Structure formats: C-alpha cells, structure tokens
C-alpha cells in the first residue's frame, strides 16, 4: 500500500484537506492517507472545533512551529517536515493553498524526489506585496501535479508553460467542505446566542497586513464599521492579529459592532449563509459567499479569485471609506446582481483529485 501525506498549516487549509481525506477513503486498498499539521497557525480550541466540524481525524504528525518571521516559520516547517518524510517515507505529498507551510513542504518533498501536488494551483493576484502571491508562484513552479479551482488558474499555468498533462481542473475542495457542513450549520444556535435576526446583519472579517497593520487604515475600517452598524447589526469575529493591533493602538471599536472571538467552522458558516452581506479581505470567504449566493464586499486592490467577481456575488472595492460605503449602499438598495456558482464547485472536487492521483500514480 502506498502512503500519501496532506499538509495543513492554517485554518483555511483544514477546509481544503478534510474532503481530500474523505475521498481517499474510497481507495483504502491503494492509499494510506495521513494529515500533517505544521502548527503554523494553532489554537487548541479552534483546531479541535475544526476537526469536529469537518469530521477530520487528528493529524498523524503535529510540528508545532508557531509564529515568527516568514523566514523563521518557513525554515522551521521545512526542518520538521523533512523529519516527517524521513519517518513516514511517503509516496506522494499534497500541499494546499498559499501559506508558508505550502511552499515549505513543497520544497522539502520535491527535493526528496517525492511526487508532489498543489491543490488550488494557478491562482494569481499579481500583487507581489502579498506574501501569499510569492508562495503561490513558487509552489506552482516546482510541484509535479497542479489541481485547479477555476478557469483563471488554467490560463495562468498555461501562460507559464506548464505541461498540460500536469494540470487538472477539478473544482474547489473548499466548497466540498462548505456543502458537507451546510446541514450542520442549519442546526447552529449562534444567531440566537448573539441575538441576531437572519438576513438583518452584516458579517465582517479583517486580517490582512495591508488593512490591519497600518494604524490609519485600521482606524478607517473601524470608523466604517461604526457607520454601517448605526443602521444594522454587525458581527465581527476578530482575528488574533487584528485584536492585537486594536489593543496596541488603543483603537476602540464601538459597542454597536459585536466583536466576538473566532468561532468554529460550522458556526461561522451559519453566520455567513444568513448575513445580509459580508465585508472581508479573505480569499476563501470570496469563494464561500459566491457558493452561497451571499453578497460579499472584498476590501482589497486585487483578488486571486476573479471568478467570484466575474460571475459570483463578490464585489472588489478599493480599501477606502468611500469605496466600502458605496458598495454597502449598492447592496442594501438591491443593486447587487445575482451570482452564479462557478463550474465544478459541486462538492466533488476532492473525489476528482483522488481519482486522478490513483489513476496516474498508484
């Protein structure tokens, strides 16, 4: 039996790997699938919630690398994952997304001669100020197999001269997890717990350095939230990075913005699917809201997920007070067009990945 390792490092990776683990269950006579958690982002309570919400097994290896500079974190992941590969002797490695663990583990496995795949390949923001963009470009340049979520990814990889036989348009495993967890989210009590009326509140997430590390920008965002919250409730699950900056800068968030700690995947999905709209700078939330048909305002200058803007429910706005408030006004006046779900975002992307890998390399 051959052994395959899938790597998770940060919260979005859990949603991408959970359906892959389930999909390989159909090939249990061929593959022994294991999860490696680098601990790049780690909170014991939140990790346990994700394992439970997504029906994931606990990882076979946990590296516990923690936070640090990009160089420190990447180096610690590489050192730890090299030891895992020496012990596990995998035949195949899967990395997902665009975090430091993605490129770190890809570098290790490729240099060890282990066939390696990148799930969510080909996405590009064309903004090299984003560390994630460097991770995406570098990972795609070295891996063997590239699994693509949307048509733009195909175009970018073809433009880069990647052998077409190595590119596979399979859909989006993030949406596999969303559809899998949707029935659970319908039983969530979080709306009652927070005193929210479905469809009559906005959901906010902000964590990117460009939005939360700049004191002027962060104060502007808080001011925008206060303005919007004067007309409708706003729920703000606060990322640890954002909370730390708010505290260090002495920025007070008005009481009409409901600041809460990060919540598990099922509860967050419940909040997202019944929100009037979502304001975010996240990548994955642009995809999830498109799949749910929920209006999304992305406060960024670029997006690596253009299909969410082209046919989905996502609107990309300049991260300014006027840009965000104009988008909010458009959505609240009913001016947002109805979106479509992109091709192959049907809940079976992981099944296609497992089938491709098994057919080609088992």
- CA-wise closest residue to 265 among 51, 17, 39: 51
Beta bridge partners of 8: 37
Alpha carbon distance, N-terminus to C-terminus of the chain: 9
Residue 40 has pLDDT above 90, yes or no: no
pTM score, two decimals?
Answer: 0.95
Sheet holding 115-121, edge to edge: 61-62, 31-37, 2-8, 92-96, 115-121, 145-148, 167-169
Cite the active site residues. Answer: 207
Domain with CATH 3.40.50.2000 in the chain: 2-172+345-361, 183-332
Give the helix ranges, DSSP H, for the chain.
11-24, 44-53, 70-88, 100-111, 131-142, 151-159, 173-185, 190-194, 209-212, 215-229, 240-249, 265-273, 284-292, 307-310, 321-332, 349-361
- Residue 11, pLDDT score: 86
Tell me which residue has tokens 């001269």: 161
Q: How many Cβ atoms sit within 10 Å of the Cβ of residue 5? A: 26
CATH number of 2-172+345-361: 3.40.50.2000
Question: Is the confidence at residue 260, as pLDDT, over 90?
Answer: yes
Q: For residues 6 and 56, is the Cβ–Cβ distance under 8 A? A: no
Contact (CB, 8 A) for 39 and 30: no
Domain made up of 183-332: CATH architecture = 3-Layer(aba) Sandwich (3.40)
Q: Please tell me the number of Cα atoms within 13 Å of 132 on its side-chain side.
A: 22
Instruction: Give 286-297 pLDDT, tens digit per residue.
Output: 999 999 999 999
Q: How confident is the model at residue 329 (pLDDT cuts 50, 70, 90)?
A: very high
Average pLDDT, the chain: 95
The CA distance from 178 to 328, in Å, is: 25
- Asked if the model's pLDDT at residue 360 lies above 70, the reply is yes
CB contact burial 32-68 (16+ within 10 A = b; e otherwise): bbbbbbbbbbbeeebbebbbebbebeebebbbebeee
pLDDT of residue 362: 64
Question: Average of pLDDT values for 163-174?
Answer: 98
Q: In this structure, what token pair is assigned to residue 7?
A: 């790597």
């Amino acid at each position: 039996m051959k052994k395959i390792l899938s790597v998770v490092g940060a919260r979005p990776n859990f949603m991408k790997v959970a359906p892959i683990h389930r999909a390989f269950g159909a090939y249990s006579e061929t593959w022994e699938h294991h999860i490696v958690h680098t601990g790049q982002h780690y909170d014991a309570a939140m990790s346990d919630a994700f394992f439970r919400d997504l029906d994931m097994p606990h990882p076979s290896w946990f590296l516990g690398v923690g936070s640090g500079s990009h160089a420190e974190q990447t180096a610690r992941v590489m050192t730890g994952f090299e030891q895992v590969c020496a012990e596990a002797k995998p035949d195949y490695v899967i990395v997902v997304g665009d975090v430091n663990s993605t490129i770190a583990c890809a570098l290790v496995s490729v240099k060890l001669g282990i066939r390696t795949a990148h799930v969510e390949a080909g996405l590009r923001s064309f903004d090299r100020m984003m560390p994630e963009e460097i991770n995406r470009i570098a990972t795609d340049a070295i891996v063997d197999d590239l699994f693509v979520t949307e048509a733009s990814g195909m175009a970018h990889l073809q433009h880069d001269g990647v052998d077409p036989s190595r590119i596979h348009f399979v859909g989006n495993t993030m949406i596999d997890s969303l559809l899998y967890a949707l029935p659970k989210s319908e039983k969530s009590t979080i709306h009652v717990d927070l005193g929210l009326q479905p469809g009559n509140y906005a959901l906010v997430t902000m964590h990117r350095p460009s939005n939360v590390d700049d004191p002027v920008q962060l104060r502007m965002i808080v001011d925008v939230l206060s303005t919007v919250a004067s007309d409708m409730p706003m729920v703000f699950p606060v990322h640890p990075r954002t909370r730390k900056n708010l505290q260090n800068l002495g920025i007070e968030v008005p009481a009409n913005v409901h600041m809460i700690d990060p919540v598990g995947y099922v509860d967050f999905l419940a909040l997202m699917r019944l929100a009037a709209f979502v304001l975010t700078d996240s990548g994955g939330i642009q995809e999830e809201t498109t799949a749910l048909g929920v209006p999304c305002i992305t406060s960024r200058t670029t997006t690596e997920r253009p299909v969410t803007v082209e046919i989905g429910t996502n609107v990309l706005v300049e991260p300014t007070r006027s840009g965000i408030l104009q988008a909010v006004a458009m959505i609240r006046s009913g001016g947002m067009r109805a979106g479509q779900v992109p091709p192959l975002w049907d809940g079976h992307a992981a099944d296609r990945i497992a089938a491709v890998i098994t057919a080609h390399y088992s």
